[in-house]
Amino acid sequence: MRLIATGLAFPEGPIAEADGSVLLVEIQAQRLTRVHADGRLQRVAQLAGGPNGAAVGPGGQIYVCNNGGFGWVRENGGLRPHGPSADYAGGWIEVVDPATGKSDRLYDACDGLPLKGPNDLVFDGQGGFWFTDLGKRRAHEMDLGSLYWAKADGSCIRRVATPLLTPNGVGLSPDGKYVYVAETDTGRVWSFEVAGPGELRRNAYPSPHGGRLVAAPGGYLRLDSLAVTASGRVCVAALEHCAIMEVDPRHGGIYWHTVPDSKVTNLCFGGPALRTAFVTLSHRGELVALDWHEPGLALHHQPLP
C-alpha cells in the first residue's frame, strides 16, 4: 500500500485521471479536489451540501451525487458523519466543469418526490447513468432508499428499484447486463438485470425490489461504495471491517483485502493497465494506492493513461 495524500476531509468518490492524478470529493469540506501524483492537493470546485459520489461524464464534465449535507463528529483522531446537517434541505445531482469549478444542479426530485441522499453513480454508455439514493437517517427514523436511472442531459429521471435499505455503491458488469448495488446497513450486495436504458428485467426473485442477492457474508458488516474489475468481480469498501470485500457474482466466492482504516469508503481503478486500486480512507483522511491482482473495468468516459 502506498500513501498518496493526507489531510483530506472525509474523501470519497475517487476518479483516476490519465495523468496519474485522482479527482475526489471531500464531503466534510464540501469540495471537489484533485490529488496530484506527488500528493499535492488542488481545489477544483467548492460545492454546497455533501458532495458524495463522483464520475466523469460526457465532455469530461464531473457528475456529483450530493447527499445534501451531514452533521459531523470527531472521534479517535478522525471524522465520521452523524445525521443530516443543520441546513439539510434535500439531495441532488450536479454537474461540475473541472476547468472553471462552476456547478449546475441537474436533478433534485423524481416524480415530484425530492431526492434524499444521492450517493454513488455509474454511466452506462447509452446516454444515461445509474445512481443510488441512500435515503436520510435522523435520530429516530430514516427514509428508505432507491436505485435510479437518469439521462446525462437532464431530460429524464426514473426510480427503477425500491425500496432498498441504505443503497450505497453502484456499478455495472463488464457487458452492461447487470447493475450491482451494495447496501450499507444490511451488508448485502444485489444484482439487477438490465433490460435497456433505464429499465430492469423483472425476475421472480424473492426480494421486495426484484434484485438477486449475490453476497451477504453475515455478522456486523456495513458496506460503502464499490468498483468492478475487468473480469466482473465486485469490489466493495467494507467500512468497519477495514477491508475491501471482493465478490465473484457468478460463482459466489468472497475474498478480503485488508486496509488500515475504520472508514474505508470507496475505490477506483487507474494507472497503467488499470492495475492500481486507489482507495479512500475517510476516517484518517487519506488516499492510498494498492497494486491489484487483475485490471479494473474501464468506465465509460474514463480518461485512460
Position 85 scores a pLDDT of 96
d(CA 8, CA 278): 14
Quickly count: other Cβ atoms within 10 Å of residue 242's Cβ. 16
Position 204 scores a pLDDT of 65
Question: Is residue 85 a contact partner of residue 179, using CB atoms and an 8 Å limit?
Answer: no
d(CA 234, CA 242): 17
Q: Tell whether residue 168 is among the known ligand binding residues.
A: yes
Q: How far is CA 149 from the centre of its chain?
A: 15
d(CA 88, CA 82): 13
CATH class for the domain made up of 2-291: mainly beta
The conformation of residue 221, written as its DSSP 8-state character, comes to: -
Length of the chain: 305
Question: Is residue 268 a contact partner of residue 279, using CB atoms and an 8 Å limit?
Answer: no
* Grid cell for residue 187: 451488508
pLDDT in tens, the chain (305 residues): 999 999 999 999 999 999 999 999 999 999 999 999 999 999 999 999 999 999 999 999 999 999 999 999 998 888 999 999 999 999 999 999 999 999 999 999 999 999 999 999 999 999 999 999 999 988 899 999 999 999 999 999 999 999 999 999 999 999 999 999 999 999 999 999 999 999 999 876 789 899 999 999 999 999 999 999 999 999 999 998 999 999 999 888 999 999 998 899 999 999 999 999 999 999 999 999 999 999 999 999 998 88
Q: Taking the chain, what is the end-to-end CA distance rounded to the nearest angstrom?
A: 21
| Catalytic sites, residue numbers | 224
* Residue 153 identity (one-letter amino acid): D
Element at 45 (helix H, strand E):
strand 41-46
Quickly count: other Cβ atoms within 10 Å of residue 255's Cβ. 13
Q: Tell whether residue 97 is among the known ligand binding residues.
A: no
Which of 52, 62, 57, 71 minimizes the C-alpha distance to 12?
A: 52
Question: Is residue 53 a contact partner of residue 107, using CB atoms and an 8 Å limit?
Answer: no
Question: Is residue 196 a contact partner of residue 217, using CB atoms and an 8 Å limit?
Answer: no
Quickly count: other Cβ atoms within 10 Å of residue 219's Cβ. 6
